[in-house]
Each structure stands twice: as structure tokens, then as C-alpha cells.
Structure 1
Amino acid sequence: MPERLSARRFLALVTDSFRELPLPEGSSAADGPLGWQGYDASRARAAERTGERESVVCGTGSVEGTEAVLIAFEFGFLGGSLGEATGDRLVAAYAYAREHRLPVVPLIATGGSRMQEGMLALTQLQRVARQSALTREAGLPQLAVLRDPTTGGGWATLGAGADVTLALPGAQIGFAGSRVRPLYADPAAYTAESQVAVGSADAVVEPGALRRELGVWLRLLSRGVVGGAAAPAPVPDALGVTDLPRTGWDAVRRARAPERPRARSYLDAYFRFRAEISGDRCGGTDPDGMLCGFGERDGRTVAFAAQTGAATRPAGYRTAARLIRLADRLGIPVLTLVDTPGAANGAEAEREGAGAAIAEVFGAVAAARVPVTTLVVGEGGSGGALALAAPGNIWATADSYFSVIAPELAAAILKRPPGEVAATADQLRIRPQDLVELGVVRGVVGHPHSRDQVISRPRRGRSPG
């Protein structure tokens, strides 16, 4: 179990400086709104033990040079529980963040709602959810740090509802606290590591690295052009061959070659530094099929969703949709890298909702108000690849192809023998230069004059609309 630091010690761990916000006055009713006998005495003992008047400390601080509103829970004050006065402080902190255009960083350590205040305590979760929603609508990022423990309504609102969630190693995290979960429940399911594994949190971060990690995230997510016109992400340079394939089957073989540059190579070359999100918030991750996150390029932030060359699983598509929607809300342009033989199509993928997950990405790209730039860097396998592609702003490398269906499958559907697969590939017109001629892509990156020629040439394809 990680060491439980007080709210102020934890604030000192993650901030360069901190200034507490003015305190709204809480209820002065004797023993609280329910008249719970001994409640005043419990609060007095908690205040004497911790030096705090409530279970949260709210203020503004600098994290690696980026200003933010920070909300630190004091677990020593009645288990970091939420009551009416806690809700008042949280509402004031979120309102201050919106007024001053600052990101919000909850540093959570709570056992849930304060039972001595009954339903009036529980309804504070609705107030918190409303403030989070208003802050989301304002285009401001919310980054949560999950300390030990993060359970109950604090997890289900401030924690799980944040844009990015970082967790301390070994922290107890879950909706059910240790005293209310079933006796037979596996305790390993209620840990930071488990929540990351199932896609409910983004990363486990050691305390010593937390300030730097928070600083990176705040810097990346606070640079959007909300309500303005963000410039498109630049098209990445080609890292592989630049001569065009002679035949359709040549294009397929190039794209499937194991030595061809993959997503990580492109991301390493494109960004000065980057940070990845993980998980679809629905119980799944797809680290082998999809990489998503934000990076710094030429002094500004670009979001990325990159297929890795494997069949993309439903969790990968849902994570990409989550990334695109977040970037759109924050006013950050998006780069997508297409590279997949297609969506995973086994029975397990169907049970995980493959069709609905792909539809989410199509919808997120179609609804995005920020510009989306796409580069096909390898295989472009059918709708599983097209879902990630930006209509009207798709580019390709010389070692890629894009096809309505894999040539082998097309030949099988047409009942052609294996010897006709190569000819079928030619008929499908899947080479990068074919895609330029068809108006599907704007140009072949790294091929001389292809960009200028294609941009100025009338396109045959129909404009999206």
C-alpha cells in the first residue's frame, strides 16, 4: 500500500507553488443537516488531527510551469468523504477554473460520500458532475490523480470522469470500498494496476515522477485553440521507400514487409515528446493495435491515433474515438496513421462490439471541428482502416496501399484461383498512385512533385458531404 500523504504534503509533491482559494462557508447546523449525534465532535477531532476544516484543499498552483486549479483530498479528515461543505468548495474551485481559463487537477483520496449527512451528501455527486460537465463544455482539460484510496462517488465522478487519469502504484481504486464489496471479490481487481489493465485509467506513475508527468500533460492539453481555427497537423515525412510500386501486388508486398517503418517510428520522428492515453473506458485496451495520445510538434500540441499494423480490436477503435473527441473539445488538431490489415473479425471481437466501435470512430472523425490529417503508412484494409481516415485530407506513403478488401479475399469472393490474386490487386487499383488518380488521397509523401501536382489537379472523387 502506498504511503498516504496529507493533502498539503501531496500538493507540495506535485506543484512548484500553491495558493489556497478563499473558503466558502459550510453549514453551521449542530451535528450537521441530519442532527447525527456526535458528528460535530467527529469533525472537531478531524480538524485537530489534520489542521483542515474540510476534506478538500482547493487552490491554484504551478505544475512544471503550467498554472492549474488543484483539488487535494485530505483522507485524514473523515476518510476524505464528501459532504455539503465539500461540495461547496468543489463548486467554487471549478467556477474559478472556468472564470480564469485554467485546467482542473483533482488529487483524489476518498472513501465516498459522508454518511452522517445522508442523501444530502450523496447528492453532492450531482453537483460535482455538473461542474465537470460545464468545465468540459468550456474546453478546459481535467486531469485526475488517483491516490489511495479512490473509491465510491469520488472515483465515479472526479476520477473516472476526468479526461486523463494517472494513478499511484498499489492504490486501491474502485467504486466499492474494501468494507462494502463482496467477501469473495478478488482484491486485485480494485487496484491501480487493474484499472489501467482494463482501460479505466491511463497510467500508473511513481510518486517521484508524478510532477513531471502532470506537467507534461498540462502543457500538452492546455494549448488548444478553443473556438478558433486550429491549423491542420503537418503531414509526416516518409520514412520508407519513395519510389512507386509497379503493380498492385508489389504495393501489397511492400506494405506487408516486416522491415517497413511502423507507427512508433513515425511518432518518434514526428514529435519532440509525447504522452499516451490508454483504454476505452469500457473495460478494454488495444496496445498492440492502436496508439493514442498527444505530442509536441513545432511548439504546439497535436493529437494522434495510430494503427500499428495489426488487426485493430474494438477497444482500439473506442480509444481512438475517445482521443478524437477529447482533441476536438480542446481545440487540438489530430493526426491519424492508417496501418491495419483490417478490423479484428473473430467471434471475440464481435462479442466486444466491433461494428459499434468502428461506427464510433467514423462518427468522431465526421463530427470533428478541428482539422484531421491522415497518412496511410502501410496496409489500408477496408472499413477498419477507412474509419480513421480524414475525408479530403488523406495522404499515402510509397510503401502503402488502400483497398476496399484484401486482394486474396476479393479473389476468394469472386471464386478465382490463388494464381489470380495479383491480377485482382491490379484491378482493385490500390497502389498509392492509383489512389491519387482516383482522388481518394491527395498525394504520395516523399514522391517528387506529387503533392503540388495533386493539390492543383481537379480531383475525380466526390467531395465528402
Structure 2
Amino acid sequence: MTSAPTGRALPARELIAALTATFTGLPERAGDTAEDGPLGWDGYGRSRARARERTGEAEAVVCGIGDVGGTEAVLIAFEFGFLGGSIGESAGERLENAFITARDLGLPVVSLIASGGSRLQEGMCALTQLQRVARQLVRLRAAGLPHLAVLAGPVTGGGWAALGAGADVRVALPGAQIGFAGSRVRPPGEDPRAYTAEGQFAAGHIDEIVPAAGLGASAARWLRLLTTPAPGPAEPPAALRAMPPPATGWEAVQRAREPSRPGAEAYLRAYFTERAQLAAPDPGLLCGFGLRGGRSVAYVAQRGTATRPAGFRAATRLLTLADRLAVPVLTLVDTPGAADDAEAERDGVGPAIAEALAAVAGARIPVTTLLVGEGGSGGAAALTSAGHMWVTPDSYYAVVAPERAAAVFKRGPGEDASMAEQLRLRPQDLVGLGVARGIVPMG
């Protein structure tokens, strides 16, 4: 599993210095007592000795505590120059100790990863370290503490599958090699771009690509957002347009469909002073964390298009993470409905909606919803917090769009407007029906 670098991998101490100037190392073992490891691999002891001499490190993992932009955190840094940053028993013990320390002190964890995966010279004894790491990740989550991974690259094999991909937030350096298969073992003829930070970002597996010079600022921002939750429910945003309630249902539909109407991005800009986005492969959905009044609120925002399965899954990931970190959530609903084409069905739109519905319904933290445009059927319901929804004057919410309702009842196209009246979908209708708590005023 051990991979060779595609470019110069940053040394562990250089990665640490990019984040903090106050690093204090944790007590660590020097390494295995057996000269050639648990398998008696010929020459393994000599290889480790050369690695120690070359890097100045006793193992492939360096662990300690440091202040990252005002947030104290446990730092785990991999030294790729030490046998490709591979994970054996000694490295696994260091990783375990770092996570235990984080739980004991109530600190977040930042992993700076440059690892080819399991150390071949230790065989199955190395591979079992993946379960050891996974167990510690589960316990960190149960303690409500966040884990940020900085993928410095190369990050392959178990370094990616067990530690990097298992983090709550994943940040990568540009051009870093990232993938389960390293360059020496992947199938021939494969597109190498799929194994890069940019390829993983496009697929939605990485949240942000940051140059090395920006790592400190990025890590500080994420830690601030993940560790300073607002104390109560998110207040609904103020309306961005002042207007009287619509006179008819069809007027409500037309207002909500106006291209010039303020959308999710305008509401997010007005609401937050700072934001950081999580990956969302569906361009019609935004999700992440933002600061309001100096405290963190998580958000999921639809952008007026049919939400695809990947969008609902991204929303579920955000809701699950926010719930675990006790960060309140704001959802902005604006969609004509869920995508219902054949591709969406093959991608599991039904199960994806079910997971989002369950995440909202099962959240222990407060979820606030503001309807800012179209509220179309199950695509909107999946991200609506029952009993905690407000609406803007230029929005509507319906069990199905008027045109589709007319088709269901075999009405002609000229009856869309009358169908909108029967559906009682205006903002004031929603308040009267008890579906919405109120129409938000202009801020």
C-alpha cells in the first residue's frame, strides 16, 4: 500500500509550523523493540534507522498540542520521508494516544496527513491499525469533538480510507495525490486526475483546496466554526424584499419564480459575517458553517433548482455533523422539487430524501427553516423543520407545483392558476394552516 510521492511532500515539522508556533509534543515511544519488526522482515530495522537519520523523527507520526488561530487542538502530523508516512504498530499507538489525549482534554483534532497507508514490512499487524484508528474516530465523535484532516499528500491506502476520509472536514493542498489506490498499485490506464485533490474535490469527497501558505488561516477558520456553537436556535433571516402578501395563489407562484428574486446566496451573505462550505456535488445546494454574532450556525440552502440525490446526501452529512457538535442549523428552502429523472432514480433519490427527512426529524439540536422561494413537494419537505418554519412574502409551499397538480387531475394548462388557489400555497395561507409560524419582515 505504501506509495511514492508525486512531488515534494512537506515534512511533518513544516506542516505543523504552518498551523502553530506553540507546538508541544506528546510523550511517544521510540519505535518497536524488535529489530526487524513483528514479521522479522529482513532489513526492516536498517530501513527504519536510515529513516530516523534522514528525517530526524523516531516514527512516521508526530503528535502534540498547539494553538491554531486561537483554538487549542491536538495535532497529528505525518512524516512522509519516514518510510512513506506508512502506518505500523508504533505509528498506530501514537495515533491512538493522540485521540485519547484529545478526548481527555476536550480538544479538537487536526490531522496533517502524508501517508502511503499500511506498512508492508509489518504485514497484517500493520493492517489491523486501521481498525484501531477507526475505533478512536468513533470515540472522538461520541465525545462531540471535531476532526479536521489536512491532506498534504500523497494520501493513499489506509491513510486516506481510515483517517483522511473519516474526518469531519477535509482540506487538501493543490495537486496532492489522494485516493485509495497509490500510483504503484492502481489499475493501468486509469485517468490520474481522479486520484488528485482536484478530482476528489469535484467528486465531493474534499471540502476545500488550500495552498500551503493558507493552511493556517483555513484550519483556524474551520476550528473556530466547529467549536463555537450558538447557544440556541438560529433566528430566521429577515426578508430581503418588502412587499405585501400576494393577492392570489398564482401571484405567489410567479413571485417565487422571478429570476430577480433574492436567492439563497443573498440570504447567506446578509446573515453571516464569515462562512466555510462543505462539499456539495449538487450545484443547486449549499451547506456549511457560518458565524453570526461571533457564534457558529450550520446551514443548508437550496438554490432554486431541483435537488439531486447528492444534494440530499450532502445535507444529511451537514445535519449529522452539526447535531454531533451541538451547532444549531438554518435551512433555506427553495426548490421546485426533487430531481425525478431516470438518473436521479438510479442514484437513489428516494433513499436520499428519506435520510434527509430522518436527519432533520431526529436532530437533537434546533433546526430553523426559512422558505425563501419555491417550496416544491418532497424536495422541500426533506429540509423543512416541522413547527419551526418561517416564510418570506415572495415564497410559496405546495404539496406539488400547480402545473403538476393540474396534470394529476387531468386539468387543462389554462387551469394552473385556479389550481394554485385550491392548493392554498400563499405565505399567509401557510400561516393560517399552521404550517408556517409567520411571515418574516424586511430587515
What is the distance in 1 between the residues matched to 2:442 and 2:199? 46
Say whether the 8 Å CA contact 2:264–2:303 is kept in structure 1. yes
2:32 maps to 27
Letter in 1 for 2:117: G
Say whether the 8 Å CA contact 2:238–2:442 is kept in structure 1. no
What is the distance in 2 between the residues matched to 1:276 and 1:447? 26
Letter in 2 for 1:218: L
1:260 maps to 261
Shift in Å, 1:27: 2.7
Which sections of structure 1, spanning at least 5 residues, go unmatched?
280-284, 449-465
Please tell me whether residue 330 in structure 1 is matched to residue 325 in structure 2. Answer: yes
Say whether the 8 Å CA contact 2:406–2:416 is kept in structure 1. yes
Which sections of structure 2, spanning at least 5 residues, go unmatched?
1-5
Shift in Å, 1:140: 0.3
Identity over aligned pairs, percent: 63
Say whether the 8 Å CA contact 2:263–2:303 is kept in structure 1. yes
2:282 maps to 286
User: For residues 62-461 of structure 1, what are the structure 2 equivalents within 5 Å?
Assistant: 62-224=67-229, 230-279=231-280, 285-287=281-283, 289-446=284-441
What is the distance in 1 between the residues matched to 2:329 and 2:29? 40
How many residue pairs get matched? Answer: 438
Shift in Å, 1:211: 0.8
What is the distance in 2 between the residues matched to 1:389 and 1:383? 10
What is the distance in 1 between the residues matched to 2:68 and 2:223? 8
Shift in Å, 1:15: 1.7
Higher relative contact order (CA 8 A, sep 6+): 2
Say whether the 8 Å CA contact 1:113–1:121 is kept in structure 2. yes
What is the distance in 2 between the residues matched to 1:9 and 1:428? 62
User: Could you list the runs of 4 or more consecutive aligned residues of structure 1 that deviate by over 2 angstroms after TM superposition?
Assistant: 24-27
Shift in Å, 1:29: 1.4
Say whether the 8 Å CA contact 2:157–2:182 is kept in structure 1. yes
- RMSD over aligned Cα, in angstroms? 1.2
Shift in Å, 1:447: 7.3
Letter in 1 for 2:282: D
1:30-79 deviations in Å (ceiling 9; x for gaps): 21111111111111000000000000100011111111111000000011
What is the distance in 1 between the residues matched to 2:143 and 2:7? 35
Q: TM-score, normalised by structure 1?
A: 0.93
Shift in Å, 1:210: 1.2
Say whether the 8 Å CA contact 1:374–1:395 is kept in structure 2. yes
- Closer, same or farther: CA 394–2 of 1 in aligned 2, 3 Å: farther
What is the distance in 2 between the residues matched to 1:324 and 1:242? 32
Q: TM-score, normalised by structure 2?
A: 0.97
1:131-165 deviations in Å (ceiling 9; x for gaps): 01100110000010111200000100110000000
Shift in Å, 1:419: 1.8
SS of equivalent residue, structure 1 residue 126: helix
Say whether the 8 Å CA contact 2:31–2:59 is kept in structure 1. no
What is the distance in 2 between the residues matched to 1:447 and 1:59? 49
Shift in Å, 1:224: 3.5
Say whether the 8 Å CA contact 1:321–1:361 is kept in structure 2. yes
SS of equivalent residue, structure 2 residue 100: helix
What is the distance in 2 between the residues matched to 1:114 and 1:296? 42
SS of equivalent residue, structure 1 residue 17: coil
Say whether the 8 Å CA contact 1:314–1:352 is kept in structure 2. yes
